[in-house]
Amino acid sequence: MILRSAALCLVLGAGPALAESTWDGLASSIWPDRALGDGSDVVAIDAPYRTEDDARTQVAAQVAAPPGLRIGEVTVVLDENPMPVSAVFTLAEPQERFFFDVTMRVNGPTPLHVVAETTDGRLWAAESFVKTSGQGACAAPPGTDPDLALATLGDMVLRVEDGVPGAGALDRLSRMQRRLDVELSHPSHSGMQRDQISLLYIPMRYVADLAIDLDGGNYVDVTGSISLSENPDLALSIPGNTQHVGVTMTDTDGTTTHAEARLPGY
């Protein structure tokens, strides 16, 4: 676990030099000495062929564990982004099926990998490719004045809806789940953006962690990066019998905020 965490920190902070390496190099840095199996039957990626907005692109996936197994962790890698490891979902209670949808910056044309780890320790990798307009999203000017963004930093809106996307044999599991939407106010400064008045670089500050609790117990921890868009939206599947949701955001400056929602009918 210590080695895994150290490797993750190395990749998260490695910058463009590592981002330009091949997928094999990235994979061996993130999961040293571990084999990645074909995850085409485990992970279904939903991402655009070409982005409409490089700075705010939805990346989603449905992950279904092989029979008899459960999903323990899901890692999203945008190979050519400055921080390739873009998000990690670590499930405190492994699930048969997991869905996520998150808005991200895509810095340039890049392979997209989603890797799921099952409870038997195996890794399952699926791949897609995203083309962009070449705007360099990680260095694009913030959409909100940095000082004004501080006034609402960490504010969250939580919504829960019945059902998550499903297809074929997955429909039964889809009906047993709900969808949690988290709208988060945060500038997600990449450290590569310039203040449009002073032209000085804006210090890096992004969402480091979202801890999502269900009915008083930890459900999933989401590790963020500068790949998360400004004011990111996150959706994910939760068990259908959930009565109460709590979300705690911690950013790289140490700011912590919390939001809660009790589901109607409970």
CATH class of domain segment(s) 2-262: mainly beta
Mean pLDDT of 215-239: 98
pLDDT at 101: 98
Among residues of the chain, what percentage have pLDDT more than 90?
Answer: 73
Both tokens of residue 27? 């994979």
Residue range 166-199, pLDDT digits in tens: 644 445 555 579 999 999 999 999 988 888 878 8
Q: How confident is the model at residue 203 (pLDDT cuts 50, 70, 90)?
A: very high
Report the phi/psi class of residue 86: left, alpha or beta, with left for phi > 0 and alpha for psi in -120 to 50. alpha
Q: Work out the pLDDT band at 237, boundaries 50, 70, 90.
A: very high
Full-model pTM: 0.88
User: Could you state, in order of their start, the residue ranges of all structural domains in the chain?
Assistant: 2-262
User: How do residues 86-112 score in pLDDT, each as one tens digit?
Assistant: 999 999 999 999 999 999 999 999 999
Mean pLDDT of 199-224: 96
Which residues share a beta bridge with 223?
88, 209
Confidence of residue 265 (pLDDT cuts 50, 70, 90): low
Strand partners, 210: 222, 249
pLDDT for residue 9: 46
Q: Which tens digit of pLDDT belongs to each residue from 116-174?
A: 999 999 999 999 999 998 766 787 777 777 778 888 999 999 999 987 776 444 455 55
Mean pLDDT of 17-46: 87
The answer, yes or no, to whether residue 11 has pLDDT greater than 80, is: no
Please tell me the predicted confidence (pLDDT) of residue 198.
82
Radius of gyration from C-alpha coordinates of the chain? 18
Closest to 125 measured CA to CA, from 84, 75, 68:
75
Write the DSSP string, 154-183: T-EEEEEEE-----GGGHHHHHTEEEEEEE
Separation of alpha carbons 190 and 140, rounded Å? 9
**CA atoms lying within 13 Å on the CB side of residue 210:** 33
